[in-house]
Amino acid sequence: MTSQAPIHLATRGSKLALTQTRRVIARLRQCWLEVAFEVVVIRTTGDRVQVGGKGLFTKELEEALLQGRADLAVHSAKDLPTEPAVGAAELLIACYPERTDPRDALALSERLCQPTGAGLEALPEGAQVGTSSPRRQAQLRHARPDLSFVDLRGNLDTRLRKLAQQGLDAVVLAAAGLSRLGLRGLDARLLPLEVCLPAAGQGALAVEARRGDERVLKLLAPLDNHEVRLTVTAERACLRELQCGCQTPVAAHAWLEGEEVVMRGVVASPDGERLVRAQAQGPMKEPQAIGKRLAAELLAAGADRILREIGGRGA
């Protein structure tokens, strides 16, 4: 393969996105010493406008694949719509190489001197918390109705900078992002799954490629993590079955227990007053069926009414 053209990896230009892409390249180089890899930085709609919508952080990367400007695209799995924003028939998720801690984390202001290990309970009454995620807001409102939420957008380092600039008490972030950027000096407390269930695919990377591109698919095959593929497939199947938009307060998380996939799901009203929980499990060879079963359990428990009221189903 030394005489072949280098492999081009499309990615967003944020510090976290570039770090994740470099990690994928490092893994690829371990398997294919003779192959050259080059990063193609692409500015997405989500980077420009920072508003809600499907495929905001993925569409331009997928267009680069379809146009041949890139051979693969590295995404945070939670950013991927349940179907590609463009080119559904031509593209596929070729591998899920890794998954870091899927939980959310609460990054506290330096002015809050709190005991080690204290999490949500460390925040004072009426604390201001930065997050633009309806999922996070709804679940945290349910646990702490006294909290005040401030809409906070931008990439991870931008949101951390605004923690101090805007005088906030805390911001909510994905623990995986903090881990991948090596932000060890930050006072961040993990939120229990019972308090804040993560978004489908959170903590996982997804590498997308063109169907039929045998060279690229062969290169990616050793990186595909079977457990991550099973669990993220189940989570995405649940979202697809719920037919909800990306701005809907919905969470889904799956893990393996022996030979079974176990899943939890949450659908909440935006104000956090109503929160529906459900669980499903089944053979790990049927991840999509388990995801659909969890969605059915949620809908039967009252999620259908919540989703219709907020215009979530089919949005």
Active-site residues, by number, are 79
User: Measuring CA to CA, which residue among 202, 221, 232 is closest to residue 133?
Assistant: 202
Residues 6+ apart with CB under 8 A from 257: 281
* In contact, 140 and 120? CB cutoff 8 Å: yes
SS (H, E, C) 189-250: EECCCCCCCCCCCCCEEEEEEECCCHHHHHHHHHHCCHHHHHHHHHHHHHHHHHCECCCCCE
Residues 23, 34: Cα–Cα separation, whole Å: 17
Residues 6+ apart with CB under 8 A from 165: none
Q: Pairing relation of β-strands 72-76 and 91-95?
A: unpaired
> CA angle at residue 149 from 148 to 154, to 5 degrees?
155
